[in-house]
A = this chain, B = another copy of it.
Amino acid sequence: MSENNPQRNVFDAIADPTRRRLVRLLAETDEMPLHELTAHFQMGRTAVSKHLTILKEAGLVLDRKVGRETRFRLNASPLQEVQDWVAFYSKFWSTNMLRLKQLLEEEEE
Contact = CB atoms under 8 A, between A and B. Distances in A.
A89 B27 contact: yes
Interface in A51-97: 74, 76-77, 79-80, 82-83, 85-90, 92-93
Interface in A1-26: 9, 11-12, 14-17, 20, 23
B83 A79 contact: no
B92 A74 contact: yes
Interface residues of A, number: 25
A89 B88 CA distance: 18
A89 B11 contact: no
Contact of A92 (B11, B76, B86): B76
Nearest to A13: B15
Given A12-B15, A74-B92, A83-B90, 18 more contacts: A9-B17, A11-B11, A11-B14, A11-B15, A11-B17, A11-B20, A15-B15, A20-B85, A76-B89, A76-B90, A76-B92, A76-B93, A79-B90, A79-B93, A80-B90, A82-B86, A83-B83, A83-B87
